[in-house]
Structure 1
Amino acid sequence: MESTWLVLLSLALGLGVGAGFVLLLHVAERHGRRASEVVNPAVPDGIDQVLDALETAGVVLDPSNNVIKTSPGALTLGLVWHQQLVHPELLELARQVRQTGEPISEDLVLSRGPFGDASMRFRVRLARLGTRYVLLLAEDRTEAFRLDEVRRDFVANISHELKTPIASVGLLAEALDKAADEPEQVRRFANRLTTESARLGRMTQEIIELSRLQAQDALAEPENLSVDDIVAAAVDQSRVVAEAERITIVIGKKSGARVFGDEALLTVAVHNLVANAVNYSLEGSRVGVGVRLQKGIVEITVTDQGVGIAEADLDRVFERFFRVDQARSRHTGGTGLGLSIVKHVVQNHGGDIRVWSQPGSGSTFTIRLPEAAEPIIEPRPNKPRPVARAAAGDTL
């Protein structure tokens, strides 16, 4: 009897130990699965594909703010570095989303990357993704803000610049009326009125030209053009003014270079550079215009021996309405839009423009454009000569 109890007790102990062991295995498995989920978290189905397709920035954060999934745009824009969000502002927004459960949208100014100096403007939106994750979407709006600022500045500048000639026209017209009985005064006021109206017309035309250059179809039908012909046409437009100031314009030897583009626009761009060189040159000096071809790049260079440009102004000479010498620009009728037009023309043709200058020694402006191949002129097919048919009664 005693041996039977011992057997039953041993059996009970064995079952208990086995059940405890199984329970320990189950607990260990659950802990292991949780640890695996923390180490290798998985985002909900479909999020990977969505982030991969995003052109903007997209980031998925886990409860510890680790970046477990990111779009290429987030890396390019410098929002993520070493699997962490770079900016504490974004981490604070993620904390608020977890706390309230409500989506958040904000406009932020952030640096580009952890060490970037340039500020960028973003429109960010954060929301919960399931129960554990936070989804962050960021749209780069830096260029949109820049264009908006340019538009506002442009409108403000136009308003300011148009005030002077419009006011002058009004005052001169009033002076003409009062001096009706004085022929000499009438002639003087009439000449000034003609000058101001011409300046106003020039400014209006250049504003229209700038607006057209900023349109997407500015080069709707580019052609294969001779750069030498463009330079010759541009220089011819400035010869009369140059001769009146005893300024010699010298053109270098023909280059044979060709570019794709709009002939009228390129002629305007080169003419603006030549006209500027003449206006800012000293009487009796020279202006040089040359073309050279170097490694597939066509360079059009305009050099003067004029007053030059201070180093502090070199970065601003292509801004709208910027004038190096306000008094001289007023005297020559300059609008401050010429170099801005040159810059836009060159950019629309896939090139760039550079400037070198030294006060008292002159300036050199260089337009750089991609070379175009020589046009292929296919020979016309030889047409068969018509066979004369004899009329009735004629002999061949």
Structure 2
Amino acid sequence: MTPLIIGLLSGLVGIVLGALGILAFHLSERQRRERIEVGEPVLPEGAAEVLSVVGRAYVIVDAVDGVVRASPAAYAFGLVRGHTVVHKELLELIRRVRRDGVIEERQLELPRGPLGQGTIIIQVRVAPIGDEYILLLADDRTEITRTEAMRNDFVANVSHELKTPVGAISLLAEALEGAAGDEVAVRRFAQRMQKESSRLSAMVQDIIELSRLQGANVVQSGKPVDLNAVVAEAVDRNKLPAEAKDISIVVGGKLELPVYGDADLLTTALRNLIDNAIRYAPEHSTVGVGLRSREGLAVISVTDQGPGISAEEQERIFERFYRVDAARSRQTGGTGLGLSIVKHVIAEHAGEVSVWSQPGQGSTFTVRLPEMDQEPEENQAGDAPAAKRTNGAEDSREQGVSA
């Protein structure tokens, strides 16, 4: 062949090879686009809009359990981390629904947070959605479940506690009937019946108080409250039991700023706190009530000279019906609800109640409540006198409590 013919044949081969390369490239691109379209299925039309208004945490997973979409609540509940479902219990439900195609609903208690501190109780509903997705809906039932458990415990405790005075009154009534001719026995049984009926009445009253407190809304119904007047009223309501034991109630200090809340509820709380001190204080002793302001908080301390409370018992004394010494509580007429009422009321007022005590050295219960700010005009007009009055209140409080 001549060089010319060889060159033409080489050129022709090159053109053919180039055309085949271009054709192969286009075929490859078409196949790639088809694979992409097949590999990226979409949610059923309208599903995203429905999920956005459903009002429950949701998670959507694909065929390999990867998280396609999740609500902020699902992350907040700790159900999802990144693109992964965290809990194996949820993954098992998802896989079972994918396999069987049957909707499942379950209530689960799961660890909350990456380190497992605390738990969350959720009601979950798992269902297939579309051809390849699984939808998980979750509703936080933690507080509802715990409230129901508390209510059941409360009913059980009330039933148990009411049995004692009711049973005692029944037995005493029988004994009284049998001793009708014995004047001394009749008088003794009658006194015991009066004591048990008083205890029963106090318990019923405390239960009513606690029920009323749980339905109160301090935020909506509150107003400025003068704690000096509240303390005075609480002390006045405890004068009779204090006089019966020859106990002096000494009040020291004064609060210049009001707090926001319900005066009746705060009076109930402080009355219970002072009543508790009187019940456990020895005869011929003193119960001190101190008032002072500190760092924007109204601080009220109630100190007694009673037997004191061990460190182990201090963690439980605010529980309903818990008594450090059940036998002593029966003697003093305590119901085991007083300190629970105190804690509930103070918590509703955004405050706290704490206790310091040592066996043999008495106890001091301290209530802290946020004070209301003064008006700007009052601050400008009387900053120095107000500070002076506060210092005087602290001095008088110290004298009153130590008296």
TM-score range, shorter chain: 0.7 to 0.9
Secondary structure, counterpart of 1:316 in structure 2: coil
1:266 is matched with which residue?
266
Superimposed CA distance per residue, residues 68-115 of structure 1 (whole angstroms, 9 cap, x where no aligned partner): 221111111111123211111111111112212222211111100231
1:276 is matched with which residue?
276
Mapped partners of 2:207, 2:191: distance in 1:
24
1:66 is matched with which residue?
66
> How many angstroms does 1:48 deviate by?
4.5
AA aligned opposite 2:32:
H
Mapped partners of 1:212, 1:37: distance in 2:
62
1:363 is matched with which residue?
363
Superimposed CA distance per residue, residues 273-323 of structure 1 (whole angstroms, 9 cap, x where no aligned partner): 111112122334432212222333222221223222222222221111111
- After superposition, where does 1:1-396 map in structure 2 within 5 Å? 18=19, 21-22=22-23, 24-31=25-32, 34=35, 43-53=43-53, 55-217=55-217, 221-373=221-373
> In structure 2, do the counterparts of structure 1 residues 146 and 182 end up closer, same or farther at CA, with 3 Å as the change threshold?
same
Superimposed CA distance per residue, residues 33-68 of structure 1 (whole angstroms, 9 cap, x where no aligned partner): 645886x87645555455555553211112222222
Mapped partners of 2:367, 2:261: distance in 1:
14
Larger deviation, residues 355-364 vs 10-19: 10-19
AA aligned opposite 2:28:
V
Superimposed CA distance per residue, residues 333-364 of structure 1 (whole angstroms, 9 cap, x where no aligned partner): 01111111112222232322222222222222
1:381 is matched with which residue?
none
- TM-score normalised by L of structure 2: 0.82
Greater helix content:
2
* Aligned partners of 1:41 and 1:68 also within 8 Å: no
* Structure 2: stretches of 5+ with no match in the other structure: 1-7, 377-403
- Higher normalized contact order (CA 8 Å, seq sep 6+, divided by chain length): 2
Mapped partners of 2:274, 2:244: distance in 1:
15
> How many angstroms does 1:254 deviate by?
1.4
Larger deviation, residues 58-67 vs 281-290: 281-290
> In structure 2, do the counterparts of structure 1 residues 254 and 133 end up closer, same or farther at CA, with 3 Å as the change threshold?
same
Q: How many residues align?
A: 372
> In structure 2, do the counterparts of structure 1 residues 266 and 37 end up closer, same or farther at CA, with 3 Å as the change threshold?
farther
Counting aligned pairs with the same residue, the percent is 47
* Aligned partners of 2:218 and 2:261 also within 8 Å: no
> How many angstroms does 1:243 deviate by?
3.7
* Aligned partners of 1:81 and 1:114 also within 8 Å: no
* Aligned partners of 1:287 and 1:303 also within 8 Å: yes
Secondary structure, counterpart of 2:369 in structure 1: strand
Mapped partners of 2:38, 2:118: distance in 1:
38
AA aligned opposite 1:197:
S
Superimposed CA distance per residue, residues 208-258 of structure 1 (whole angstroms, 9 cap, x where no aligned partner): 111111115577633322100111111122233334434332211211231
2:388 is matched with which residue?
none
* Aligned partners of 1:255 and 1:293 also within 8 Å: yes
Superimposed CA distance per residue, residues 127-147 of structure 1 (whole angstroms, 9 cap, x where no aligned partner): 222222221111111111111
Mapped partners of 1:299, 1:53: distance in 2:
46
AA aligned opposite 2:188:
R
> In structure 2, do the counterparts of structure 1 residues 326 and 73 end up closer, same or farther at CA, with 3 Å as the change threshold?
same
Mapped partners of 2:50, 2:216: distance in 1:
31
AA aligned opposite 1:27:
S
* Aligned partners of 2:218 and 2:349 also within 8 Å: no
> In structure 2, do the counterparts of structure 1 residues 33 and 209 end up closer, same or farther at CA, with 3 Å as the change threshold?
farther
* Structure 1: stretches of 5+ with no match in the other structure: 1-6, 377-396
Mapped partners of 2:335, 2:115: distance in 1:
41
